[in-house]
Amino acid sequence: MVAPAALDFQGSSVDLARALIGAVLLVDGVGGRIVETEAYDAEDPASHSHRGPDARNASMFGPPGHAYVYRSYGIHWCLNLVCREAGHGAGVLIRALEPTEGLDRMRTRRGPVVDLLLCAGPGRVGQALGITPAHDGLPLDRAPFELRPAALRADVVVGPRIGISKAQEMPWRFGLRGSRFVSRRFP
């Protein structure tokens, strides 16, 4: 019997990003197993919270255990889970899921793509789960969110983050080893 890895929203975003691999995330009953995450922090030049609180990133400076939703490239809605003490500005970007529940609704939202690409990337996760600005700032421990920690400690691989120009060398992207549902392979 192995104790479930509890999700600690009070700790660092790097620790939470690692612990989230293998956890199950649902929004209105639609979602799956988290297979890829990235950590961001106020001391991190690549983070939206680096310049301090503003209208867009306010949720990152709100209470831990809540959602931070932002618009990416004017097109996509991406979901983060806020951690650390309120006011700090740290969070974890959900980059990919292995779809397990609500497949039909995901296929309707995502259009004609193979199931492997339903949630392989932060923008795709947002679209498949129906994430909107209305989810920004909502608590993760009640509807429409459902978050279940991984039953066993997952086999996690680490690598540099994707799509950033600052602090590219920081190994703050985490994935489930061998998963075919990640947005990109790990070296």
**Closest distance of CB 18 from DNA, Å:** 16
What are the residues whose beta carbons fall under 8 Å from the beta carbon of 163, sequence distance 6 or more? none
Residue 4 found at the interface with DNA (CB under 7 A): no
How far, in Å, CA of 183 to CA of 9, rounded?
25
Whether the Cβ atoms of residue 67 and residue 81 lie closer than 8 Å to each other: yes
User: Residue 81 belongs to what H/E stretch?
Assistant: strand 76-83
Binding residues among 134-173 for DNA as defined by CB under 7 A: 161-165
Nearer to DNA, 57 or 179 (CB): 57
**Closest distance of CB 35 from DNA, Å:** 13
How far, in Å, CA of 114 to CA of 120, rounded?
11
Helix/strand/coil for 172? coil
How far, in Å, CA of 64 to CA of 123, rounded?
22
Whether the Cβ atoms of residue 66 and residue 138 lie closer than 8 Å to each other: yes
Nearer to DNA, 107 or 153 (CB): 107
Nearer to DNA, 99 or 123 (CB): 123
Nearer to DNA, 38 or 157 (CB): 38
Residue 185 found at the interface with DNA (CB under 7 A): no
Residue 60 found at the interface with DNA (CB under 7 A): yes
**Closest distance of CB 143 from DNA, Å:** 23
Q: Exposed (0-12), middle (13-18) or buried (19+): which is 6, by Cβ within 10 Å?
A: exposed
Interacting span for DNA (CB under 7 A) from 1-9, 42-50, 129-137, 146-154: 42-50
8, 11, 15, 46: residue in contact with DNA (rule CB under 7 A): 46
Q: Which amino acid is at 47?
A: S
Nearer to DNA, 2 or 55 (CB): 55
2, 75, 114, 169: residue in contact with DNA (rule CB under 7 A): 75
